[in-house]
């Protein structure tokens, strides 16, 4: 299982802070995003390829081809705006 976390605008848009999901067949960030977009509605809209979001795996910034394995913490959030 993956532990998925959502932050900031995405947490509000999805009305969800966290959930557990099986590791996608492709075992990559890209595969997970495809599964989440397949939910349609706000998921497809907010995670669309033309939208701006970032993914961290185990608290490190990740790329679309970053591999995933069971037990990983995957955080999905908007581009950061601190400082």
Partner 1 sequence: MSTIRVQTADFNIEDELALVRSNPSVGAVTSFIGLVRDINDGSGVTSLTLEHYPAMTERALANIVHEAETRWRILHTTVIHRVGELKPTDQIVLVLTASAHRGDAFAACEFMMDYLKTQAPFWKKEQTPSGSHWVDARGSDDAAAERW
**Contact call for residue 75 and partner 1 (CB under 8 A):** yes
Distance between CA atoms of residues 67 and 30, nearest Å: 9
Instruction: Using CB under 8 A, pick the residue from 61, 64, 65, 69 that binds partner 1.
Output: 61
Point out which residues pair with 67 in neighbouring strands.
28
Q: Judged by CB under 8 A, does residue 20 bind partner 1?
A: no
Q: Which residue carries 């067949």 as its tokens? A: 25
* Nearer to partner 1 among residue 25 and residue 83 (C-beta): 83
Of 76, 61, 79, nearest in space to 19 by CA: 76
Q: Where does this chain bind partner 1 (CB under 8 A)?
A: 5, 7-9, 12, 52, 56, 59-61, 73, 75, 77-83
């Amino acid at each position: 299982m993956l532990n998925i976390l959502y932050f900031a605008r995405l947490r509000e848009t999805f009305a969800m802070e966290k959930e557990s999901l099986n590791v996608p067949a492709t075992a990559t960030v890209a595969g997970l995003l495809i599964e989440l977009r397949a939910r349609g509605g706000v998921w497809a809209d907010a995670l669309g390829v033309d939208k701006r979001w970032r993914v961290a795996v185990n608290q490190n910034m990740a790329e679309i081809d970053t591999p995933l394995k069971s037990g990983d913490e995957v955080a999905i959030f908007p581009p950061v705006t601190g400082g």
